[in-house]
Amino acid sequence: MTLIVTSEFELNRVVAPRLPTAPVQYEARFHDQHSDVLRLYFNRLDAILAQLETNATTSVLQVPYGSFFQDGASFLTAGMTNNSTTPIQVTSTTGFTPSGGLLIEDELITYTGKTSTTFTGITRGVYGTTNVAHTIGVAVTESLGVPNATTAQAMILTTTAASFGVELDGVNTSRVKATVAGVYNFQFTAQLLNFTTTEDNVSMWFKQNGVDIPYSAGVVQVNGKHGSEPGSGIDGWNLIINMNVNDYIEIYFSSLSGNTVVATFPAGTAPVTPISPSLILTATFVSALPA
């Protein structure tokens, strides 16, 4: 039988009963008492198992979990000149943050606002890239950079793939919140892109409730641009940590040069490949909090 944990009820502990000592001679009263004790014990077991039944053939105990990602992706519906700062027209801005960054071919662009089909408040050729012309139909994906080389940035998540007892904060989606207390294993992968010709070091670490978690940081090297392709790498690690109800986790990063971004790679065409999200974060329930 597969068992799944829920936060909707708590299973009471069932202790094996102390059976009455048998008399020397047969007594119907003793056997009745013996049967009543066993009947009560098995009734309690049946009651617990009944709580776990989801259908006639399976029983599961459901544990909290979560899977979240950021992968804003769209296509240009109008071409762009190399110096245009007019609103960028796309098929849809769903999955993109209200303000942030874009990757269009080899150019990184920032924007300060969006409508359902446009990005507004455009700044071209940021993070060491050069503004160039783009034709209708090319891919547009989201990116996130640091404000500068000495300032860290929280990584953003916008999409929930699966969730039970762990959820994105409704206001600040860099925060993944536990609604069920317990010990959790958080694991992430981040897609790093560097469009300069200089290697860069990127630091990434966890914060809990806005405070750096000791020993949770790592430093990774991101290669410089080679030919027409950016330096890239997928890096990540995991952390096991105690979470109370409404505690939240965030992932921060910094760039030594200030130019490496966390960005979504568009889908490939030859061969066909799926989109590479800028960030994936999963949370798995490990156990109840220590007593």
Handedness of CA 101, 104, 105, 106 (dihedral sign): negative
Query: What pLDDT is attached to residue 135?
Result: 98
At 53, is the pLDDT very low, low, confident or very high (cuts 50, 70, 90)?
A: low
The whole-model pTM stands at 0.81
Q: Rg of the Cα trace of the chain?
A: 27
Residues 22-41 have pLDDT tens digits of: 777 777 777 778 788 888 88
Quick check: 4 pLDDT over 50? no
Residue 180: what are its φ and ψ, rounded to 5°? -125, 125
Residues 238-249 have pLDDT tens digits of: 999 999 999 999
Listed range (16-25, 31-40, 83-92, 163-172) with the worst mean pLDDT: 16-25
Listed range (56-70, 107-121, 169-183) with the worst mean pLDDT: 56-70
Query: What pLDDT is attached to residue 51?
Result: 63
Query: What pLDDT is attached to residue 161?
Result: 96
Among 76, 288, 79, 73, residue whose Cα is nearest residue 184: 288
Return the ∠ at Cα 72 (arms to 176 and 148), rounded to 5°: 75
- Range 203-217 average pLDDT: 97
Collapsing DSSP to helix, strand or coil, 167 comes out as: strand
Handedness of CA 147, 203, 253, 130 (dihedral sign): positive
Beta bridge pairs of residue 68:
160, 281
Query: What pLDDT is attached to residue 56?
Result: 53
Place of tokens 């909707």: 8
H or E segment to which residue 38 belongs: helix 28-52
| Cβ–Cβ under 8 Å, residues 199 and 289 | no
DSSP symbols for 46-106: HHHHHHHB-SSS-B-----EEEEEE--EEEBSS-B-TT--SPEEBS--TTS-SSEEEEETT
Residues 218-274 have pLDDT tens digits of: 999 999 999 888 999 999 999 999 999 999 999 999 999 999 999 999 998 889 999
| Cβ–Cβ under 8 Å, residues 126 and 150 | no
What is the rounded CA–CA span in Å between residue 249 and residue 184?
11
- Range 79-88 average pLDDT: 96
At 6, is the pLDDT very low, low, confident or very high (cuts 50, 70, 90)?
A: very low
Domains of the chain: 1-16+26-62 (no CATH), 65-287 (2.60.120.40)
Q: Quick one: the chain helix, strand, coil %, rounded to 5?
A: 10, 45, 50
